[in-house]
């Protein structure tokens, strides 16, 4: 089953609880948190306090994407009863296997994200240890960017690797997802789609979530 993870990066924070309720009512499967530190990526978003403010306010599991340097220092902050995934960047982790084991020790499913210029081959030694790989289909740091077409090749390559070595692996994509291309990425092998502006920029958020899910069911 293909799933949708709306990214709060594009939400109106003055209406945060209301908009989270809209995506939940629309049938979204996760809330995606894009955490940015202004160092690993050229922007600052929000931290664990914003995420934790939603505890008890939603039943949706948390999909946490750490676009930060030294993620090991902050993993405990994002490990909550709602957190299903914590994803770190291969480019930000000096000892990636150690970081993955750290996430597992917290009872959280570990993921690794790859920037557009990072090849799938960097996962060769660790693919069996992962629950998810997140393919960035834009350069991380800002919402509202256009999808990088070469990302489809990486998704297909990762799908082949999954089938050969880790059939239970989740493939996620983040960046530039629209109503026009969401079906294309799921057809290529993506199981979890992150969408920000396409969801929260819509006149009717609940309706947009339902439209996207209808396309990828």
Among 12, 34, 124, 187, the active-site one is 34
Among 37, 63, 131, 174, the active-site one is 174
Please say if 174 is a catalytic residue: yes
Residue 82 to residue 88: CA distance in whole angstroms: 18
- Tokens coding 1: 């089953």
SS3 71: helix
Q: How many CB atoms lie within 10 A of CB 33?
A: 26
In eight-state DSSP terms, residue 112 is E
SS3 212: helix
Q: For residue 85, give the nearest of 59, 57, 69, 66 by alpha carbon.
A: 66
In eight-state DSSP terms, residue 37 is B
Facing residues of 83 across strands?
A: 62
Residue 60 to residue 58: CA distance in whole angstroms: 5
Residue 104 to residue 108: CA distance in whole angstroms: 5
**44 to 34, 171, 203: CA distances (angstroms):** 10, 26, 26
Residue 149: alpha-carbon gap to chain centroid = 18
The set of catalytic residues is 34, 174
């Amino acid at each position: 089953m293909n799933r949708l993870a709306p990214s709060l990066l594009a939400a109106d924070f003055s209406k945060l609880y209301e908009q989270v309720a809209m995506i939940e009512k629309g049938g979204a499967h996760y809330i995606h948190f894009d955490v940015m530190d202004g160092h690993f990526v050229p922007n600052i978003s929000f931290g664990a306090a914003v995420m934790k403010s939603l505890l008890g306010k939603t039943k949706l599991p948390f999909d946490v994407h750490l676009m930060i340097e030294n993620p090991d220092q902050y993993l405990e902050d994002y490990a909550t009863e709602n957190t299903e995934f914590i994803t770190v960047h291969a480019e930000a982790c000096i000892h990636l296997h150690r970081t993955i084991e750290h996430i597992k020790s917290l009872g959280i499913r570990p993921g690794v994200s790859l920037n557009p210029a990072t090849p799938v081959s960097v996962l060769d030694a660790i693919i069996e240890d992962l629950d998810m790989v997140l393919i960035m289909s834009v350069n991380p740091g800002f919402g509202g960017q256009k999808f990088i077409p070469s990302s489809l090749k990486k998704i297909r390559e990762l799908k082949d690797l999954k089938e050969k070595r880790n059939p239970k692996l989740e493939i996620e994509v983040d960046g530039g997802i629209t109503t026009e291309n969401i079906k294309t990425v799921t057809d290529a092998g993506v199981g979890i789609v992150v969408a920000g502006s396409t969801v929260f920029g819509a006149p009717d958020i609940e309706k947009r979530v339902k439209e996207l899910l209808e396309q990828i069911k």
